[in-house]
Chain A
Amino acid sequence: MTATAPAPPVAQGDAPKPALLELRAIDVFYGRIQALRSVSLDVADGEIVALIGSNGAGKTTTLHTISGLIHPSRGEIYLRGQRINTLGAERIARLGVGHSPEGRRLFQRMTVRENLEMGAYARRDREGMRDDYERVYTLFPRLRERHSQLAGSLSGGEQQMVAIGRALMSAPSVLLLDEPSLGLAPVLVDVIFEVIREINAKGTTILLIEQNARLALKNANRAYVLETGSISLSGPAEELLNSPAVQRAYLGV
């Protein structure tokens, strides 16, 4: 949508779905350093949207800003039309934003099960929670086996499963995933992405960050490219996959 850089021909053929999540001209500073410059993006209900970009582009910052861990100095964020950029992280989580942070950030000295319980911290519907444990364990049978193991002693892949599972336990309407494939063997990456598509198929909207642009673009409906703090490209994932600019910069073609 926004094309601040020399815009390559990227069409925008989507039907105008109501945006579930919308960022409007977000500026974020770390002290004096500006990390995001007028970032605007939107995620429609039921989509998988990918956010790609090189190291330090501001991808993680964008997710942190959405979930209220950092507050933007300018711009607005809307969730189902409700303005959320002034709310605290706990309110935003309760409104339906699930966040699986970069580096997993599990509660290391808690068990797998306890981590999942913490994910459901804000919920009080016991029935729904029980179904969701079941759902997470069905998505990741491995976690069922390991439910009483300490999170800190799991393998990297298993930890990633717990991180995603924990975010799912809040029954989010939009799930923010920060580099779910980081440090995983190719086989496991496939497993994780299969699960991500499955989660999406069951109705959870997903905003996904990936270093591996090809992987992200193959799995997403639409994508945004972030370059040093601002969106340089956006459009349907397939088009970006074939765009020469993206291919040169991110796909190593």
Chain B
Amino acid sequence: MTDLAVRSPVALLRRVTQPARSMGRRVEGRSVYLILTLTAAGLVLLGWFLPWFVGPFTAGTGFSPQDVVSSAPTGFATVLVYVMGASALIVVLSPLAELVARLRKMTLGVRVDQVRAIAGAAGLVAAVLVYVLVGVIREEPAFGVLSSTTITNSAVWLTMYGFGVALFAYGAKGLVLTRPNLAFAIAALPFGALLPLMFHQAPDFLLWAASSLAIYTLLALGLNVVVGFAGLLDLGYAAFFAIGAYACASLSSPIHGIHLPLWVLIFLGAAIAAIFGALLGAPTLRLRGDYLAIVTLGFGEIIPDLATNNVFNLTGGPNGLPGIDQPKIGPVDFGTSPQWYYWSIVAVTLISVLLLRNLQRARVGRAWVALREDEVAAAATGINTTTTKLLAFAIGASVSGLAGAFYGSMLTAISPDAFQFQVSIAVLSIIVLGGIGNITGVILGSFVLTFVIFWALPHAHEWSATFAHNFNVSAVGNINFPQYTYIIYGAALILMMLLRPGGLLPSRARRIELQTGVESESLAAVQGRA
């Protein structure tokens, strides 16, 4: 099943992205996948065995291997759990085995990939069956309705199974694919699309999680155009997200009595954000690096401040805008089930990825690369540096407009808090972590960081408390994790930059820069203005 699912989109995407011949072709080193696998394996393990340690926390999820083992008809379910455990073990151990083999200068054949692929697939299938089984035993849906107050709450489940599928693709790549990087992108994206099909009924909280993940993915993809493709450091990206969200909210709520449909709003939000992108871009054209960063930083501070102060009575002040429409199209009511948001955001994200990929490989994309490399030479070869930079700002901002349109409608209310500096930094961290300039890396980064920021860190104290309770280690239970959230987060970023300065999946340019120390030069310097 997954084989087909992985393969045919590959063929499709290949055809779609054909125009690029020599530019943008990437082949990543294997070590990337090593680390990727280790991370993925760790996460999957965490997901599988976590419930044993966090009894209270799993109450809402309905997932409890203990139940399966103790109350299920013996035999089948137990076997499943063992299959899960075994496959997890293989998946975790195989990269280690590979490392050892590599250190001893042995070569590993396709066999290893095969084993890993089978293990990944078996683990996935077993996990799904356990979920379903638990539901059947308890005579309740596999997933109870979680309160949707924190939609990112359960991103972890999704992330885990995303990694599971990705892992499978990793194992499968040696067998079916020649472009592993692309394979990863394909495997990682539709995991969301496949998931609901795997379960009887689409579990709400998974869908909420997927939708909010996708919003961060969109934001990261947009910022990646500015920072990654064009090399312009933007520290105030959340401002465009805010502009898109507020514009769309104003046009689809009782505030002005305007109720435009979401489909129109997506485009409007994107267009408005793009205009502001260009507006910010215009005065900063000559700035580069740190100067540009400071200007964008200021912009990022101003916009939420304007919203808080209710400028022109448009933004509703600190309380923001309530009562944003949830669209209703015939029988489809976005208010009743998150699945409609989910499907539309996944579609929009997929389309954005395709468009951005093509853009990167089109003339503009090459112009961005040239601009990043050497502005003077770029200008001398006939590239209009002004429009090229403005285009980067506008396109980058427009993607956040898309995200903003969905964001407001999903939450039915927005307030200035959601667009503070931390959001800009979170999105920037996503692309830095994932690999600046590499779409696949950015998508991967959005999964990892959404997991860390919105799930792992906020819940770390609950885990430690249960852990302390179950194992009588009171010291652990007293750690005040929320207080240390940003310390942990910061330390993780520092560690990441030390270990893999190019991100999880570095773009070609970054890799070369790290290897050779080659940097770029600006036009303003030659003109005597910098």
Interface stretch among B309-317, B375-383, B491-499?
A: B375-383
Q: Is B140 an interface residue (CB 8 A)?
A: no
Q: Is B528 an interface residue (CB 8 A)?
A: yes
In angstroms, how far is the closest chain B Cβ from the Cβ of A77? 15
Q: Which of B22, B381, B385, B386 contacts A166 (CB 8 A)?
A: B381
Q: Which of A33, A64, A117, A166 contacts B526 (CB 8 A)?
A: A64
Q: Is B28 an interface residue (CB 8 A)?
A: no
B527 and A152: CB pair below 8 A?
A: no
- Point out residues on B near A: beta carbons under 8 Å: 22-23, 363, 366-367, 369-370, 373-374, 376-386, 508-509, 512-513, 516, 518, 521, 523, 526-529
Q: A69-B526, A70-B527, A121-B363 are in contact. Are A106 and B382 (CB under 8 A)?
A: no
A-B contact pairs, 23 of them (CB 8 A): A31-B528, A33-B528, A64-B526, A68-B379, A69-B379, A69-B380, A89-B380, A90-B379, A94-B382, A101-B377, A107-B377, A108-B374, A108-B516, A108-B518, A109-B518, A114-B23, A114-B366, A117-B366, A121-B366, A121-B370, A121-B383, A152-B512, A170-B382
In angstroms, how far is the closest chain B Cβ from the Cβ of A161? 15
Q: Which of B23, B376, B380, B526 has the most CB of A within 10 A?
A: B380
Query: What chain B residues lie within 8 Å of A119 (beta carbons)?
Result: 381
In angstroms, how far is the closest chain B Cβ from the Cβ of A220? 22
**Chain A: CB-nearest residue to B523:** A69
**Chain A: CB-nearest residue to B529:** A31
A:57-111 near B, CB below 8 Å: 64, 67-70, 88-90, 93-94, 99, 101, 105-111
B367 and A69: CB pair below 8 A?
A: no
Interface residues of A, count at CB 8 A: 35
Query: What chain B residues lie within 8 Å of A106 (beta carbons)?
Result: 374, 377
A108 and B366: CB pair below 8 A?
A: no
A107 and B369: CB pair below 8 A?
A: yes
**Chain A: CB-nearest residue to B384:** A90
Query: What chain A residues lie within 8 Å of B383 (beta carbons)?
Result: 90, 121
Q: A69-B523, A114-B23 are in contact. Are A107 and B380 (CB under 8 A)?
A: no
Q: Is A113 an interface residue (CB 8 A)?
A: yes
B379 and A107: CB pair below 8 A?
A: no
Q: Is A182 an interface residue (CB 8 A)?
A: no
- Cα–Cα, bound, A110→B24 (Å): 10
Q: Is A189 an interface residue (CB 8 A)?
A: no
Q: Which of A30, A152, A166 has the most CB of B within 10 A?
A: A152
- Cα–Cα, bound, A88→B382 (Å): 9
A109 and B377: CB pair below 8 A?
A: no
Q: Is A199 an interface residue (CB 8 A)?
A: no
In angstroms, how far is the closest chain B Cβ from the Cβ of A225? 24
- Cα–Cα, bound, A30→B529 (Å): 8
In angstroms, how far is the closest chain A Cβ from the Cβ of B314? 38
- Cα–Cα, bound, A109→B513 (Å): 8
Query: What chain A residues lie within 8 Å of B366 (beta carbons)?
Result: 114, 117-118, 121
Q: How many inter-chain residue pairs (CB < 8 Å) link A and B?
A: 99
Q: Is the interface of A mostly helix, strand, loop or mixed?
A: mixed
- Cα–Cα, bound, A184→B415 (Å): 63
B381 and A108: CB pair below 8 A?
A: no
Q: Which of A31, A89, A109, A167 contacts B379 (CB 8 A)?
A: A89
**Chain B: CB-nearest residue to A163:** B377
B22 and A114: CB pair below 8 A?
A: yes
In angstroms, how far is the closest chain A Cβ from the Cβ of B230? 14
Q: A107-B369, A109-B518, A114-B23 are in contact. Are A69 and B376 (CB under 8 A)?
A: yes
- Cα–Cα, bound, A221→B374 (Å): 33
A109 and B373: CB pair below 8 A?
A: yes
Q: A70-B527, A117-B22 are in contact. Are A107 and B382 (CB under 8 A)?
A: no
Nearest 10 CB-CB pairs, A to B? A122-B382, A30-B528, A93-B382, A89-B379, A107-B373, A105-B377, A90-B384, A99-B380, A108-B518, A109-B512
Q: Is the interface of B mostly helix, strand, loop or mixed?
A: helix
Query: What chain A residues lie within 8 Å of B379 (beta carbons)?
Result: 68-69, 88-90, 93
**Chain B: CB-nearest residue to A33:** B528
Query: What chain B residues lie within 8 Å of A170 (beta carbons)?
Result: 381-382
- Cα–Cα, bound, A114→B516 (Å): 18
Q: Which of A67, A69, A119 has the most CB of B within 10 A?
A: A69
Query: What chain A residues lie within 8 Å of B380 (beta carbons)?
Result: 67, 69, 89, 93, 99, 101, 105, 167
Q: Which of A88, A108, A113, A114 has the most CB of B within 10 A?
A: A108
Q: Which of A70, A99, A105, A167 contacts B374 (CB 8 A)?
A: A105
- Cα–Cα, bound, A202→B363 (Å): 30
**Chain A: CB-nearest residue to B508:** A109
Q: Is A150 an interface residue (CB 8 A)?
A: yes
Q: Is A153 an interface residue (CB 8 A)?
A: yes
B381 and A122: CB pair below 8 A?
A: yes
**Chain A: CB-nearest residue to B379:** A89
Query: What chain B residues lie within 8 Å of A150 (beta carbons)?
Result: 512
Query: What chain B residues lie within 8 Å of A114 (beta carbons)?
Result: 22-23, 366
Q: Which of B23, B379, B382, B518 has the most CB of A within 10 A?
A: B382
Query: What chain A residues lie within 8 Å of B381 (beta carbons)?
Result: 93, 118-119, 121-122, 166, 170
Query: What chain B residues lie within 8 Å of A67 (beta carbons)?
Result: 380
Q: A67-B380, A93-B380 are in contact. Are A107 and B526 (CB under 8 A)?
A: no
**Chain B: CB-nearest residue to A97:** B380
- Cα–Cα, bound, A90→B529 (Å): 19
What 0/1 readout, one digit per residue, does chain A (182-218) give for beta carbons within 8 Å of chain B? 0000000000000000000000000000000000000
A152 and B370: CB pair below 8 A?
A: no
8 more CB-based (< 8 A) A-B contacts, given A108-B374, A109-B512, A113-B22: A99-B380, A105-B376, A107-B373, A114-B22, A117-B366, A121-B381, A122-B381, A152-B516
